[in-house]
Each structure stands twice: as structure tokens, then as C-alpha cells.
Chain A
Amino acid sequence: MNNYLTDFWQATPIVSLAIFALLTLIVDAAGKDKPVLSYWMSLIGIVVAAGFSVASLGASTPLFNTMLAQGGYSSYCNLIFLGSAFLCIVLSRNYLERLQYHRGEFYVLIILATVGMMLMAAALDLMIIFLGIELMSICLYVLAGFIRKKEKANESSLKYFLLGAFATGFLLYGIALIYGTAGTTNLALIGKSFPQLSHNSLFMIGAGMLIVAFSFKVAAVPFHMWAPDVYEGSPTTISAFMSTGAKAAAFAVFVSVFIRTFDIGGTKLSDVLAIIAAVSMIVGNVTAIAQNNLKRMLAYSSIAHAGYMLSGIAAGNIEGETGILFYLSAYVFMNIGAFGIISWMEQQDDKKLTFDDYAGLSSQHPAVAALMAIFMFSLAGIPPFAGFFGKYYVFLAAVKAGMTWLAIIGVLTSLISVYYYLRLVVLMYFRDGQASIEEKVSAPAMAAISCAALFLIVLGLYPSLVVDIAKGFFKI
């Protein structure tokens, strides 16, 4: 029997973050009415976990009886999740103080959700995937309804919870069928027998149910119905966290199950995913045009982005995997940046969330308008920002896998998306208006958002920085 105690010492990123979640909880309980303590504690925890993730980039021995991977792929994904959580926490402090809901539990739940995400990325066993998804989702259900007095927040929390529980049912049933046919929940063993199993209809039903559950978590059409309502009703910084960290974690699982384990290139599963990707791109982009509320617009845009990334998974090749890893690192920062600026503009009772509220922003707040423009250009996929290369890599993967039609749909729908992203830029710069930010933006929040924008530009100019790292992770 292995000595699991040493394994705990090796799984440092996850274990340290879990310990910091507990510390944050204790600090919150001990220091009455001082949520600022929890704020700092959670930030320290994230930095420590990020440090351990970087330190363990080179490690590759599986831990806990091949339940948990370390290093490489999982460390890279950890950094994405931790970046998303860090930005979300920094942005949340002022936002929650303004709404008079600044409480320490908020940070504890974000940290615990991040632990769940890290488990999802590092999982080598279907059981760990399930536990990670549940840990993340339960925290998000609560965070979505954190502003308890707001009716819309309650609606979004309940809606997310009920539909999420339904998706969990699909996930468990899928895992049960896969276990029934493969005789194991270990991903490596399932992957080894995948060529035979892929002719087994029960196994394929199980794999299809996994697609349903994961597509729900990434908000891909036709499992996207919850996303606009939930993003609209949740606290804006939590919408940012859900549409970046949670989505990135779901994609990390998608990649590790469907590319790294099943190797689906050229199978029926890849056709199914290609159709989901195409429909997501079309529905997400076309519906986003009609939105007037910015949070809803970003919700539909995030559905479209899920479609772009799914085309990389449908391709199922090395380009697809590296493309998605690059796309995720760009997407997380541009989307959280856009949501962050919306959270600065937003006033109580959901005011100042429409396009028209941003008219003439550049004359009052040139720096904020410039940052928003960078995020919009990047989301639209205009070079030299990182969003362009993200799309380039996933579409290239689709072409290489012989799915040129998918890449064509992707490019055409990206053109549609330019309309609604640039509409905001045009409003900010070329329309007269009284757009202004009522309260002063805190220096850390401004610095965080500026760093995200800078990161997008650097990544857009030197994409090989990330791609080379990502390529090294393929099948370790």
C-alpha cells in the first residue's frame, strides 16, 4: 500500500488552497465585521497556490493511486483558474461594499470553487471529476444568489441550481454507464480500451451523457438556456467568475476526457461535438446582436466563445488541445476585464447596464474606455490582441482535422460578432453622452484590469510564449 501522506505533500497547489480556504473561514469567524481580513487571506492563498503550481510545472507522477495528476497540464490550468479567481476577488471588494454585502463567506466560497476547478483539471479518475464539478457548482449556486434581497439574484441562483442538478444527473448516469462497460473509472485504463469500447453502444450512451453534462457547464447550445438569466441576475463579479473560471474548468475536463483520454479524432463523438460547436457559434452570436443589456450580451458572447473552443475539441488533435489552452488563457482575461468594467459602471438596482449608458464614456474616463475597447477588440478577435490568435489556433485545428466547414462557420459568425462588440466601442468614442462612473475606482482594481489588458497585448504579440508551453503538455 502506498503512503498517502507523502502524496498530500506533493499535491501542494490543491492542498494549500484548501487549507487557505479553511484559514479564510477561521479569520472570518474570528475577526467580527472585518471581511477585509478574509479578502487579504484569500488573496494570499491564491498567490501561494499559484507559486506551488509554477513550482510543480515539471512534475508528472500521478498521486493517490492514480486519481490525481500533478504538474504540466494541470498546473497550467491551475494558473488560469487562479488568475480568474484573483481578478474576481480584487474586483469584488468594492462592488460588494457598494451593495453593502461585503462579507467574508464570499471569499471562502470563491476559494472553495477554485479548489473544485483545480480538482477538475487534475483529475485522472471520473470520480474526482464528479467531485470537482460538484464542489465548484455548489459554491457557484450560492454565489449567484449572494445578494439575497434581490429578486433576480434569487431567481438566477435557483435556476442555476435546478438545471445544474439535472446536468449532474446526466453526468452521474454517464459515469455509471462508462463504469459498467469499462469496469473502471480510471481515465487511463478507459483510454486504453477506448478503441474496443467505442463500438459498445452502452459506452457511447455514457460518453454522450458526459457531453451533455460538460456542455451544460460550458454553456454550449442547446444546453445554454440558463446562462443569460444566471449571468444577468448574479453579482457582476460572479458572472465574470462563472463565465471565465468555471467555463475554463469545464473545458479543462472536456480536453482531458475527450482528447487526452478518448482521443476522439474521427469518431462519432467528434461529429456530435462539431455540431454542438457550430450551433453554439451561430445561436450565440446571432442572439447577442439583439441584446441591450451588456451582461446578457456578454452571456450570449460567452456561449459563442464556448462554440469556438468546442470546435478545437471536435478536432481532437494536438493543435486543438494547444489551441484551447491558448484560447482559455486569452478568454479568461478579456472576459473578466469586460465584466470588471461593467461592475464599475453598474449602479444599485441594475441601473446603467445598457449599451446607451456607455455613450461618451471616453470623454469622461479615457483610460476606462480604452481598456474596455481593448477587451472588446480582443473578444471580437481583431489582431494584434490575444483573442485573434485564440480563434486562429482552434480554427486551424478544425481545418487540419478535415472539418473545414466548421472553421468557415466560425469565421463567418466571428464577423457577426464584430458588430455587437464594436457597437460598444463606437458608443463610447463617437457618441455624445453623460456616461460616468459615480464612485471612484479603487487602485488595486484598476491595476488588476490594466494588467489583464497588458497581458492580452503581450499574448497577442508573442503568442508562441504560451503555445510552446501548452504544446509540451500534450499527452504527458
Chain B
Amino acid sequence: MIEIAIHKALNGQKGKMILDLDFKVEPNQITALYGPSGAGKTTAFRIVSGLLMPEKGRIVVNGETWLDTSRKISLSPKERKIAYVFQDYALFPNMSVENNILFAAGKNPDKNKVKELIETFHLYDLRNQKPQNLSGGQQQRVALARALIQEPNLLLLDEPLAALDNEIRVRLQDFLLEIQVRYSLSILLVSHDIAEIHKLAKHVLHILEGNIVKSGSPVEVFTGKVSENTLNVYGKTLSIDRLKNRITVLVNQEKLILDISEEKILDIKVGDLIMLSFSTENTEIYTGIK
């Protein structure tokens, strides 16, 4: 179990704000932090990784206390078994892909582990390239491999897929799920993308102005409903045919044409996110998803 409680006064873009979070992260699963920019998500990451000191706080990871301001305990980033994938990946431009991973591995790198990661992340042909010569998706894979070589007890991903185009994004989401299971990773993920959170995370914390306003499964947080025997799929509205009461929705790179009731079609604009909820009894369409 990972327990995180932090309290810090911030000078944000919108003036003063108190970051006050208290939550638990189940091990071996992905927990998402969701909220607008400036809500304090990245600051929370900086505190958890040890880059920033909160006024009050307690962080316990798998029984090990990383931070407890009441007992004046604060482990340095080096002593925390943590890895952080930055939004811009922060790959070192002066090192090749392989050397980026080796540098993160430390003084006596486990050669087999490095080799295994390079193969798992499909980086073998790219291992001698400099990061700036790689595409966004490839850079993201290097950043993840470099994080995993550190064998973290907690992996922080700050909008890891935000800079990628849709197709690669979907592929990397699948890949991320695969490695999360394979290496039993405990992951904290910052994301703005509801569909992505829904796909990846078991648990989501909705953060507004430094506070957790909602937490639960993605379905609970985003629709207020508890899912039982249902499957929820998000899609983007591409076009609306008001004569036939039909909409075209992009779901997982596929176009889906839906017949929809007359009153519901009035709620929808092109570009809106909708949620399709398939249950064993019927199929519901939710509009107005933010």
C-alpha cells in the first residue's frame, strides 16, 4: 500500500493556492490524477519524488517511510525507490538510447536487465541513436525503459502520451498496460484524457485547485454511476445528421454510426466526447462528458 498525504502552499498562475492531498494508491495498478492545468498535479509529483519539500506531509511506500514531517524524516530522491517520466521525457541528448538506460541503471548495471528492457521496448535497432533523432513514440519508449531499469516501487508518469498523435497514443496505451502487468508496476499517472484514464486506470482522483474533489473508479468519477455488468467506451463525435437522428463517432480509431433519440441529439455538438455504456440489458449513451 502506498499512502500519500501532502500539504503545501503554492503560488500558482491564479494566485495563492493550498495543495492538500490525502490518498492511498493500491499497489500493482494504475491510479490516475485528473484535473485542469495548475491544479497541482505536477507539484504533487515533485513532492512525492523528493524534488520539492512540502510544509507538512507523510509518504509511506510499501511500509517504508519516505517522508514524515512530524518525525522530521525526509529521504533524498536517491533513497526513494521511485522513477519519474517527465512530460518532455527528459532524455539526455548527449547520450545514446542505450547509454541513457545505462546511466539510469547506476554504477553496476545488470547487463541482462538492460538487454531485456531494450528488447521488450523494441529499442534494439535504435540503441546507438541519440534521442533527438527519434520520433515522439520512440522517445516515450526510451523514457519508460529508462524508468523501469531503476526498478521503482512507484512509477510517476506525467502526461506520458499527451504529445503523441492518436494512433501511436492508442498503441502505447496498450503497451503500457502490458508492461504494467508484466512488471507488476504501481503507477501514478497524470492525464487530461478521460478515454485514456478509463482505459488505463483502475482508480482516479479528480483534483481541482489543490484538492481531491472526487475519487473512485473512472466510471464513478466521470459519470457518477457504478458499473456492474457494463462496458463503457468513450468516443468523439465526428458528425451529426439531424434528419436521420444519427451521429458518427470515432471510437478506438474506428467510425461508429449510431441511431440516437431526438432529444439526445440536441445535446451533442461536433467534437463532443460521449460515453457508450454497454450493459447486459441495454446500451446507453451519455452526453455532456467533459
Q: Do A and B come from one complex?
A: no
Seen from chain B, the residues whose Cβ lies within 8 Å of a Cβ on chain A are none
Residues of A at under 8 Å CB distance from B? none
